[in-house]
Structure 1
Amino acid sequence: MTSSLSFMGSYSGITMDTVDQLIEAESRKVVQYKNQQTGLTGEKNAWKDINTRLDSLYKKFDALKEPNAFDSKTVSNTNDKAVKVTAGTEALEGSYKVEVTTLATSSQLTSGSITGMSGKKITDSLSLSGELTFTTENSKGTEENKDLDTKSFTIKIAEGDSLKDIVTKINETAKEKESGLHASVIDNRIVLTDTDMGERSISVTDSNLEEGNESLVGKLALGTDVTSFTSGKQANLTVNGIQMYRNSNTITDAVDGLTFNLVGVTESNQVSTVKVTEDVDKTTKAIQDFVDQYNSVMSFIDTQLDVGDPSADGNKTGALVGDSSLMRIQSQLRSMMTSSSKDSTQPIKGLSDLGIEVNRFGAATLDTAKLKEQLAKNSNNVQAFFFREESVKDADRNETTKQFGIAQQMTTFINEYIGEKTGIITTKSKTIDGMIKGLDEQITKFNERLEKKRERYIEQFTALDVAMMEAESQLSYLMSQVTTNQQK
């Protein structure tokens, strides 16, 4: 090939530049293929962006299916240094005056000085063995219900166990038995704390004390004659003049839907005034979020379908001009935003009743004042318009639960496009990938054909030069013969 290249053009004047020009002229098809690939990649990226925006819109509507989007409550409190209050969705609007007289505390039993600990570390062996039983119970319980609030467990102490080992066994067994007792070591003394609050007793007894043996309780200074015991207290609070006691500082059963977290004792003339109201701002924000995301989707769709100015030089169009699937999304979203329900059982018929209007360009706006007016009138009606579940009977009188509302309609429609496995966008993306791959294969084959054609051109033009060289040689020979004959 090298000799051919060096010889080619010697007589004909047809060089590699000529071959390159011929190949370049024929390679314009590759440019067309690559332009098609660029267009397809633009389509794929556009659909990917649409999928992301639709997914966000799906989530905005999905959030409006949740009860707390409409039933959330806001709480104001004039004195949260004594009590902090949170409200669940089931809480009723109202006002409460709360006064905390006593916080709930835990009972604590502290051992006396343990014999033999002098000069020892808590990790040194105590040379003790035996079994101890730990019992906690409600001191205010009656004889009939005391057993229901009694918790007990037993540990075994082996020769070689240290004070630290004993405390570790207490805690591990207490946790396993869910007794609520916790042990620690302070100044070489065992401190037992009942994590269950209220007036509870703590007792420690030998489980298998044999006659004549010294009490293990005594050796660990856990007998009642040497221990220090502080009884826990019940929380004492008053809500709207009603006094109540609880064995916890977190109280959930005083007012339905409200949780009172007691954090301090109410000082004089500082009673906590708690007001529970509907959290319309949270609902308004959730609806505004979906309106904003809807506008984002529609604006981007407009960009992708934009034909630009066909009469202008270098006119730029959207990546999905004329795409029927995208036009269907645009049309259906706008239709659902402006449609009116024919369900006579629902007082709210359309988004316009909630202050949401869609202009002729498809953009939506929210009148928050009108929305809040509807929420104040009846937030349940607003919630039912977005999402509700109803029991319906089929032709065989079988009862099933069905979902209704614009949020349900929107998420169902959007899922047709963004579904991971069977969604229209997923299918389109796979189709485009296949087309791009097909173009890659065509480009490869076309380049192979061009390379073979290049080789043929080189062979043909080299052969032409050889022929011209031979013709010139023959012509020179003939001319020499003619000259010789003339001289004779």
Structure 2
Amino acid sequence: MASITSTGLGSGLDVESIVTKLVAIEKQPITDLQSRTSTIQTQISAYGKIQSAFSTLRDAAAKLSNPTTWAALTATSSDPTMATVTAGNGSGAGSYALNVTNLASPQSLSSKAFATNATVGSGSMTIELGQWSADNSTFTSKDGATPVSITISATDTLANVRDKINSSGAGVLASVVTDANGSRLVIRSKDTGEANGFRISTADDDGSNGDANGLSALAYDPTASIGSMTQNTKAANAQLTINGLAISSATNNIESAVDGLTINLLKPGTSTVSVGQDKDSVKKAINDFVTSYNSLMTLMRDNTKYDDSNKTAGTLQGDSTAVGLQSQLRNITASGSSLGGAFSRLSDLGLDIGAAGTITVNDAKLTSALGSMSDLKNLFMGVDPTDPNNNGLASRWRSFADQVTGFDGQITTRTAGLQSNVTSNNKRVDELNDRADAYEKRVRAQYTALDTQMAKLNDMSSYVSKLTSMLGSG
């Protein structure tokens, strides 16, 4: 009897095809589950995007419900080429008359001209900070400052002297300026102000500390009748008046004259400094919120709508949680508040809610509304102690966003439920795969047995046919 080497050879049946189709039918529920899981994962992804958009909205609403936003001030100068101004914490709204007669300046000295790369002599030079009298006849050392001595060698060029001065920490800055006459050493105070003047004395190795030769060419001390270097600028304080009040400042950056106001002097002259509420920053905060709100509403609408023209449903179409969130957000936005005085609804500010739920900004109307800052502030962040639903809109937007994205919020809860379904489906898929594998083994064994039996019957039939033929021929 012939042996069977492949399923189906004995019976003539396409056993492999039969088994494959039977197993495919058995696995159909797995395909259905995997398809449903893919849909759920898409929904989870959509909720992730919505949660992120809610967080962005929450941050924008928090800015509108922050007192700092509404307390921000801005300052302007009528002549920004003469002085610039910045308003900070503690500054108050008002107008200030500024009259600057003199800018703060550092002391500056320059030496005689030297040949390029020439040496200047050897010895030591001592630099001391302090204040000169009006005619430079007396010098008062600066409190807390210590004279600095610098050793100069015979091989030091003007550039070497410059570098030694700059690394000494003497409170001055040195540079080499070269023109058609040669190179000069220029030394100036590091800081402006009359208390930051300086004098330079030398111990010249040539034995003479007061002439203009050798190292003493870099000396400057009028109190000792030494003026080898030339004073180009005298150390001076800025002199100004603010609303008639005389002020003297060692720097051109005036920070303490008016609370919270920083004035940067650029040149002598007069200017008017005006301080008022920063309407531009409030306007930007409102527009930033509108942008985040519209982004969220558009995202939720696209995910929950049914497109009749394309016959396609959004990822969350019919999802009660998503639809509910959309409805709640719309209700808060449309409800307004009675705390805003002249403004009770967003439309009063030029923020109009369209049919799609998004907000359109009428810039002219919003700009006009910024003129009533107190009412505007109350509409967004006012607090009603008797009715939380009448609180300012920004406060309610923020509270709602915190609630829906919180640990037990609708988005978190819904996402957890969807994820649980994914886990359950994956577990069921594993079970069905195991069952399908067992089914395939069972069916394949049955058809193998059938194939073997059919092969035996076919062999028997062939044998009987041959035997009958032999008997008939005899």
What is the TM-score of this pair, normalised by structure 2? 0.72
Indicate conservation of the 8 Å contact 1:136/1:194, yes or no. Answer: no
Q: Give the CA deviation at 1:414.
A: 1.5
Secondary structure of 1:26's aligned partner: helix
1:38-187 alignment runs, 5 A limit: 38-67=38-67, 69-73=69-73, 77-88=77-88, 91-96=91-96, 98-110=98-110, 132=126, 134-137=128-131, 151-152=145-146, 154=148, 157=151, 167-168=162-163, 170-172=165-167, 174=169, 180-186=171-177
Work out which of the residue numbers 306, 313, 318 in structure 1 matches 2:314.
Answer: 318
**Can you list the C-alpha shifts for 1:270-303, whole angstroms capped at 9, x where unaligned?**
x545554444344234223323432332343233
Q: Give the CA deviation at 1:418.
A: 4.0
Distance 1:4 1:10, change over 3 A: closer
Q: Give the CA deviation at 1:186.
A: 4.4
**2:288 aligns to what?**
289
Work out which of the residue numbers 448, 457, 460 in structure 2 matches 1:471.
Answer: 457
Cα distance in 2 between the residues matched to 1:21 and 1:389: 69
Sequence identity percentage: 25
**Can you list the C-alpha shifts for 1:47-96, whole angstroms capped at 9, x where unaligned?**
12212321221221122244553344555655333333344465555455
For residue 382 of structure 1, what is the amino acid of its counterpart? L
Secondary structure of 1:471's aligned partner: helix
Cα distance in 1 between the residues matched to 2:446 and 2:295: 62
**1:397 aligns to what?**
none
Indicate conservation of the 8 Å contact 1:73/1:88, yes or no. Answer: yes
Cα distance in 1 between the residues matched to 2:254 and 2:416: 56
Secondary structure of 1:109's aligned partner: strand
Indicate conservation of the 8 Å contact 2:104/2:238, yes or no. Answer: yes
Distance 1:349 1:275, change over 3 A: closer
Q: Give the CA deviation at 1:43.
A: 0.7
Work out which of the residue numbers 262, 267, 277 in structure 2 matches 1:264.
Answer: 267
Cα distance in 1 between the residues matched to 2:200 and 2:409: 67
**Can you list the C-alpha shifts for 1:7-47, whole angstroms capped at 9, x where unaligned?**
52553322433333223323322321221122122112211
Distance 1:21 1:87, change over 3 A: same
**1:228 aligns to what?**
230
**Can you list the C-alpha shifts for 1:444-473, whole angstroms capped at 9, x where unaligned?**
554455455445444433432222121011
For residue 227 of structure 1, what is the amino acid of its counterpart? M
Distance 1:48 1:180, change over 3 A: farther
Gaps in structure 1 of 5+ consecutive residues:
141-145, 393-403
Cα distance in 2 between the residues matched to 1:97 and 1:431: 66
Cα distance in 2 between the residues matched to 1:216 and 1:13: 125
Cα distance in 1 between the residues matched to 2:152 and 2:416: 70
Cα distance in 2 between the residues matched to 1:223 and 1:329: 80
Cα distance in 2 between the residues matched to 1:193 and 1:383: 52
Q: Give the CA deviation at 1:101.
A: 3.7
Indicate conservation of the 8 Å contact 2:76/2:84, yes or no. Answer: no
Cα distance in 2 between the residues matched to 1:462 and 1:223: 116
Secondary structure of 1:106's aligned partner: coil
For residue 251 of structure 2, what is the amino acid of its counterpart? S
Secondary structure of 1:192's aligned partner: strand
**2:397 aligns to what?**
410
Number of equivalent positions: 446
